[in-house]
């Protein structure tokens, strides 16, 4: 692992991660066991109930999928008198189109969402390009839920996905919407390198060419720096097959993965990385540690072909540290 510009000791970085996982191993395992759920309780809070961190009578997954929200991590326990199975997000058969924000919102839904978001620490959104009408939903959630709460300590994690088939005005619109969220918390945008290259090309009126981009590694930093300086986010993370690049205010850093295996698989990689990145946030780690933990969870999954637990993560980190020592 290495960082460009502000370069810490890679071994110290991984040692810090190992110490945090050891100190909170039970909470880490509880989190990892539930990290696929849409609504989940923060296991690092002292008032977690019993051995479960799931939410009583959760909102149907299809509702969250329609809104383009992938994960909502709650800092306070939340229960419902009944499951909201009647919340409709299906196709409007008369119009032949999917319901939009104004079609599905009502007083009950808005009050429930406000109650949930007021208890939330982390809100992770799905790939914008893969959610029909995502801009409409995310704009509506901002003005009808986030802004009225006036809570300013959220952690928002956004993904754009493959924007190559979207019009420039659509991309400009969603980037403006994402930028609004920065008034109410820290905004992180996560892209893989192909997505980042396509976004750069879209913003500059240039057709993306993967073959050309692959031969311009040194130019990549300039392209991604341009993206970061163009949009209103606090952190931009770009994922490669075996490394990650961080752009934040006053810092550009690059994190290499283990030499013998990829830490990122295009189809599933962001899910694994995101799980580790969110875990780092819940452990209240610095951004560099969150990225490293995302790499650890990704790499441990690839190596073990299954969702890892705390023991697997610790073994993976220990092996990584040993490999770095032997390379010196």
pTM of full prediction above 0.85? yes
Distance CA 188, CA 217 (A): 23
pLDDT tens digits for range 218-244: 588 889 999 999 999 999 999 987 788
How many structural domains comprise the chain?
1
First to last CA, the chain: 13
Whether 59 is covered by a domain: the verdict is yes
Distance CA 257, CA 269 (A): 13
Whether 256 is covered by a domain: the verdict is yes
pLDDT of 86 over the 70 cut: no
Give the burial string for 254-280 (b: 16+ CB within 10 Å, else e). Answer: bbebbeeebbbeeeebbebbbbbbbbb
* Angle of the 168-181 helix axis to the 134-141 helix axis, nearest 10: 20
Distance CA 190, CA 287 (A): 13
Whether 266 is covered by a domain: the verdict is yes
pLDDT tens digits for range 92-107: 555 545 678 998 888 8
| CATH code for the domain of 296 | 3.40.1190
Whether 1 is covered by a domain: the verdict is no
Q: Which domain holds residue 307?
A: 10-327
Q: Give residue 143's pLDDT band: very low, low, confident or very high (50, 70, 90).
A: very high
Residue 61 in contact with residue 72, Cβ under 8 Å? no
Whether 229 is covered by a domain: the verdict is yes
Whether 96 is covered by a domain: the verdict is yes
- Print the SS3 string covering 64-94: HHHHCEEEEEECCCCCCCCCCCCCCCCEECC
Whether 3 is covered by a domain: the verdict is no
Whether 36 is covered by a domain: the verdict is yes
Residue 203 in contact with residue 171, Cβ under 8 Å? yes
């Amino acid at each position: 692992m290495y960082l460009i510009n502000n370069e810490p000791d890679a071994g110290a970085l991984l040692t810090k991660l190992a110490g945090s996982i050891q100190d909170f191993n039970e909470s880490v395992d509880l989190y990892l066991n539930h990290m696929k759920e849409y609504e989940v309780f923060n296991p690092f809070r002292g008032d977690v109930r019993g051995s479960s961190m799931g939410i009583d009578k959760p909102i149907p997954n299809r509702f969250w999928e329609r809104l383009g929200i992938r994960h909502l991590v709650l800092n306070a326990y939340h229960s419902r008198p009944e499951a909201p199975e009647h919340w409709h997000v299906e196709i409007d058969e008369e119009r032949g189109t999917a319901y939009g924000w104004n079609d599905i919102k009502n007083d009950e839904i808005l009050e429930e969402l406000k109650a949930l978001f007021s208890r939330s620490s982390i809100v992770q959104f799905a790939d914008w390009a893969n959610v029909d009408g995502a801009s409409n939903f995310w704009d509506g959630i901002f003005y009808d839920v986030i802004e009225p709460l006036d809570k300013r300590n959220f952690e928002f994690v956004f993904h754009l996905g493959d924007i190559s088939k979207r019009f420039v005005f659509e991309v400009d619109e969603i980037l403006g919407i994402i930028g609004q969220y920065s008034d109410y918390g820290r905004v992180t945008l996560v892209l893989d390198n192909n997505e980042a290259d396509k976004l750069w090309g879209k913003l500059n009126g240039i057709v993306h060419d993967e073959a050309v981009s692959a031969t311009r590694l040194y130019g990549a930093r300039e392209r991604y720096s341009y993206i970061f300086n163009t949009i209103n986010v606090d952190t931009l993370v770009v994922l490669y097959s075996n490394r990650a690049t961080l752009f934040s205010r006053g810092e550009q850093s690059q994190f290499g993965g283990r030499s013998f295996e990829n830490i990122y698989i295009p189809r599933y990689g962001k899910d694994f990385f995101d799980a580790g990145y969110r875990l780092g946030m819940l452990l209240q780690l610095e951004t560099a540690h969150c990225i490293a933990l995302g790499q650890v969870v990704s790499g441990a999954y690839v190596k073990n072909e299954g969702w890892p637990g705390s023991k697997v993560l610790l073994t993976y980190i220990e092996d990584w540290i040993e490999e770095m020592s032997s390379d010196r």
